[in-house]
Structure 1
Amino acid sequence: MSFFERPHRLMSASSVVMGLKPETLREIDDYAVWMEKVRAELVAIYGEGAMESEVSHITYATSDDPTHFSSRITGEVFERLRGYKALLGKADSIKRQRADKMQLQEVMEAAIRLDTHGGKSLRQQQRDLRRLKESIAQLNRQEAEAKYQLACLSPQLKNIFMADAIRVCFL
């Protein structure tokens, strides 16, 4: 599967402009893999001679301004993307844990209301319920913190997610 649109938008002696398929940068996690994909695309279209020159840098343009290539794609960008994906996974995990514990809380409260102790004393059940509520409160704090971190990171990655084309510049 190619991550790049064909035909390429522009080819010159010093650079190549290639369109990106939507979500391309979200799918790749590693800068080295990204560079391999770019090199493979250049070799597939222009042959081995295209890679005689070393890649100087890669810039991208967004769909909002497709002719303005001002931001570079570097290893740091992919580190941020990995961090963003990890935060998304963490937030989802916390959300699932919280939902499970809230369901357990409902069951425990119902058992206390119906006075079905299940072999435990009422005080023990109330202590267990209190611990469970404290655990849910902790998960709520963790979820809020993860959402805050995502909210802080999202604006930094907004333009990357909107990348429409890249310019590969050669030395």
Structure 2
Amino acid sequence: MPARVPKKAPDSAARPWEQLTRGGWVAIGATALLIASSLTAYGAYYDIYGNISAESIDTDAFGDRPTKVDGAVNIMVIGSDVRTGENANYGAAEGERPDTLIIAHISPDHDGATLVNIPRDSYLDLPACAPTDDKPGYDAHLGMIGEAMSLGGISCLWTTVEQLTGIHIDHFVSVDFTGFKGMVDS
């Protein structure tokens, strides 16, 4: 029996992309677009949420608090003027005060939100606040709302806002200069 001689492969077999139909090219393009957009979305997610740190606040230690409205969510939003770490580029100032202080109320039906600004220079009765590891605390006195955060931290500001407004605060968010710049840039 004679030996078989292998046939030479046609040139097009060496280049499979030349055999793709228009639909094949569309499928490749759609897949590449999907992968690129997924990676971009993940990058944006990581850029924003990768820089978030959580702080646990023991609200049980607050004592008597305003009544919580079922289904409503109230978030204290703080724009901090802290000037340590990366924020040192924005000038020098000791301590940390709320430049912006807002209560965001999300209705029980989740069909709307209301934002209420508390002026940073509000002068009011500050409740006593115990010292912490890094804050000196203070006795009850008449003062500016920023003192609560500067001398007592987030917990003291939280109780002061609840006392001032009669609104049960569920969560808080604090954004410093660098964080704000990062959100705008993103």
Normalising by structure 1, what TM-score?
0.27
Q: Which is helix-richer, 1 or 2?
A: 1
Larger Rg: 2
Higher relative contact order (CA 8 A, sep 6+): 1
Q: Which is strand-richer, 1 or 2?
A: 2
Normalising by structure 2, what TM-score?
0.25
